[in-house]
Amino acid sequence: MNKDDTFYASDGEILRITTYLNEKHFFGKTLVFVHGFKGFKDWGFGPYLGEYFAKSGFFAITFNFSHNGIGKNKTEFTELEKFAENSYSREVRELNEIIDAIRNGFFDEVDRNCKLGLIGHSRGGAIALLSSSKRNDVEVVSIWAAISKLDRYSKRQKEEWRKKGYFEVLNTRTNQLMRLNVEILEDIEQNRNGSLNIENAVKNLNKPLLIVHGDQDLAVPIVEAEQIYDWSDKSQTELFKLFRTGHTFDIVHPFSGTTAKFEKVLEKTTHFFNKYLN
């Protein structure tokens, strides 16, 4: 059973949610999937992973960040002005508010004291690390193709960004030019040594961490996974490399079916969560 819901963040912005539950297999544990940059809960593998984890016994929560560019239309970027205004700090706060909602009983299907794990893909992996490193009520984290740094821009790009007030990225799937306002750059620079420091987040995580990465990832090179692993507590961390696959583990959008590589990701993540969500 899957259900769409709406959650209002502390600033009144809408976070659209889909939850997945298989009552026959459910054993009381919850996971939250955190999408990445230009991602959304209904992209490619989103609904499939929700169903997969529900069949594996979890209550699975997928959601859209309020400023990811997706509005009422589940699969098209119709809110480009919001996309331009997004920030890392906003996404960290919104993920924390989703977790708070679990703990405050927003989701009737699960106990507010349930065991909880996070999965983050790409930029969502960084957001999961930054959020969970400061919480004791998240027990396990898995990051898929996650970035190890937020500042991914050259000096020249930043100069142009500040001069114009925005930076444009091409969505190769939709051919949309998507703006990022200069505020996201300022957010990175102002908080790089504090709330948005991924290295510190990993070093202070103090919980089991599964790092999954494809060796042919062109969007986020596997060296970033190795960097995160280098920062981590090796007694609680596992680095799982997949060979001959890239950033989305051979999954495409629109979804045309699962792949052998993605099934390995799901199986490994499920095993890891079952091991540590005791």
CA distance 46 to 43: 5
Given the structure tokens 């290295």, which residue do they identify? Answer: 199
Q: What average pLDDT does the structure give for the chain?
A: 98
Given the structure tokens 């995160």, which residue do they identify? Answer: 228
CA distance 211 to 232: 10
Cβ–Cβ < 8 Å for 25, 1? no
Residue type, 239: L
Q: Where in the chain are the domains?
A: 2-276
254: preceding bond cis by omega (within 30 degrees):
yes
> What pLDDT, on a 0 to 100 scale, did the predictor assign at position 278?
81
2-276, superfamily in CATH? Alpha/Beta hydrolase fold, catalytic domain (3.40.50.1820)
pLDDT digits (tens, 9 = 90+) for 9-41: 999 999 999 999 999 999 999 999 999 999 999
pLDDT digits (tens, 9 = 90+) for 153-193: 999 999 999 999 999 999 999 999 999 999 999 999 999 99
> What pLDDT, on a 0 to 100 scale, did the predictor assign at position 243?
98
Token pair for residue 138? 């998240």
Q: Is the pTM of this model over 0.75?
A: yes
Alpha carbons within 13 angstroms on the beta-carbon side of residue 94 total 28
pLDDT at 255 over 90: yes
